[in-house]
Amino acid sequence: MAEKTKWGTVLLFLLPAILLLLFFLVYPALYTVLLSFDRGRNGVLGEFVGLDNYVRVFSDQDFINLSTFPPSGALWNNVVWIIFYTSFVIFLGLIIAVIASRVRYESVIKAVVFLPMAISATALAVIWKFVYAPDANIGLLNAILANFGVSPISWLGDQGIVNFALIAVGIWASVGFATVILSAALKSIPAEITEAARVEGANELQVFFRITIPMVSLPMSVLAVTLIVNVIKLFDLIYVMTGGGPGTSSRVIAFTMYQQAFSAGQYGFGSAVAVVMLVLLLPIMIFNVRRFRTQAVR
């Protein structure tokens, strides 16, 4: 269509969005990149310090510490989160979707598992702090253990346990999302294909691994990417449940960014951590843009 662009109308439709995006996302992102090379006093550019902030970030034992085994620090905790959270959410989501599809009350199960998705991370944190309470008269988990004669465990107070206790909450909160997505994907597999395989003599396990899994691999990988992005942006749950503690053992990068910039007033350091988050998300950004370039051009 070679009609003349009606600039007045285009601006009417687009200007509010463009202005807000420029003011709140594009300009701040560029400024934060500059700020990450600056001392950043009061959050404004003043004294260029080169890579100083990045050197401090990556030599900070609370951010990443590779000298011990297993490694520790906020960035490492994100890695641990990605490994366990992503795989368990997808695994449990798939199992529940497959099993639930065989019963009439499927939608009830899906709603029950999905419910945490609607709830604030702040409320989830209270729910689970209560389950994890060290007093066996209050915390359900320690009460169950007490039944088996196990003495109470300080789930959120032990540096070796705390991250796994938090990841378990994250898994619990996200499995419903995976279940709903994978269940929709499973339903889109034509019944004739699985039928044919069964008639040919394939058993249930073969059908599952040779047909079901390959046919849901695309939604599964999209799901995995979404979950990884969730982990990189993870903040509320950690902030409310442990405040990054005990000590600094359950910190994640988004927590470190907030803590450094707004509690410690280290704007240069905080900016550098924010840029690290941006860089971690960059591959996914490029992947998305590539994927939609083909679709956008009609």
Q: Which is nearer to other proteins, 199 or 205 (CB)?
A: 199
Nearest distance from C-beta of residue 68 to other proteins, angstroms: 27
Nearest distance from C-beta of residue 92 to other proteins, angstroms: 9
With binding defined as CB under 8 A, does residue 252 bind other proteins? no
Please give the residues from 263 up to 292 whose contact with other proteins meets the rule CB under 8 A: 267, 270-271, 273-275, 277-278, 281-282, 284-285, 288-289, 292
Q: Which is nearer to other proteins, 55 or 285 (CB)?
A: 285
Nearest distance from C-beta of residue 70 to other proteins, angstroms: 26
What's the CA gap between 114 and 93, in Å, rounded?
A: 10
Q: Which is nearer to other proteins, 159 or 262 (CB)?
A: 262
Q: Which is nearer to other proteins, 66 or 219 (CB)?
A: 219
Please give the residues from 138 up to 167 whose contact with other proteins meets the rule CB under 8 A: 138, 140, 143
- Out of 50, 67, 102, 149, which residue is the one contacting other proteins (CB under 8 A)? 102
- Out of 59, 87, 120, 159, which residue is the one contacting other proteins (CB under 8 A)? 120
With binding defined as CB under 8 A, does residue 55 bind other proteins? no
- Out of 26, 83, 150, 213, which residue is the one contacting other proteins (CB under 8 A)? 26
Nearest distance from C-beta of residue 296 to other proteins, angstroms: 5
Single out the segment in contact with other proteins by CB under 8 A; choices: 3-11, 52-60, 72-80, 81-89: 3-11
Single out the segment in contact with other proteins by CB under 8 A; choices: 68-76, 79-87, 157-165, 227-235: 227-235
- Out of 58, 235, 245, 246, which residue is the one contacting other proteins (CB under 8 A)? 235
CB environment 131-147: b (16+ within 10 A), e (fewer): bbbeebeebebbeeeee
- Out of 58, 79, 84, 106, which residue is the one contacting other proteins (CB under 8 A)? 106
- Out of 51, 55, 66, 117, which residue is the one contacting other proteins (CB under 8 A)? 117
Three-state helix/strand/coil letters over 133-178: CCCCCCCHHHHHHHHCCCCCCCCCCCCCCHHHHHHHHHHHHHHHHH
With binding defined as CB under 8 A, does residue 44 bind other proteins? yes
With binding defined as CB under 8 A, does residue 97 bind other proteins? no
DSSP string, the chain: --PPP-HHHHHHHHHHHHHHHIIIIIHHHHHHHHHTTB--GGGS---B-TTHHHHHHHH-TTT-B-SSSS-BSHHHHHHHHIIIIIHHHHHHHHHHHHHHTTSTTHHHHHHHHHGGGGS-HHHHHHHHHHHT-SSTTT-HHHHHHHHTTPPP--TTT-TTTHHHHHHHHHHHHHHHHHHHHHHHHHHTS-HHHHHHHHHTT--HHHHIIIIIHHHTHHHHHHHHHHHHHHHHH--HHHHHHTTT-STTTT--HHHHHHIIIIIS--HHHHHHHHHHHHHHHHHHHHHHHHHHHHHH--
With binding defined as CB under 8 A, does residue 137 bind other proteins? yes
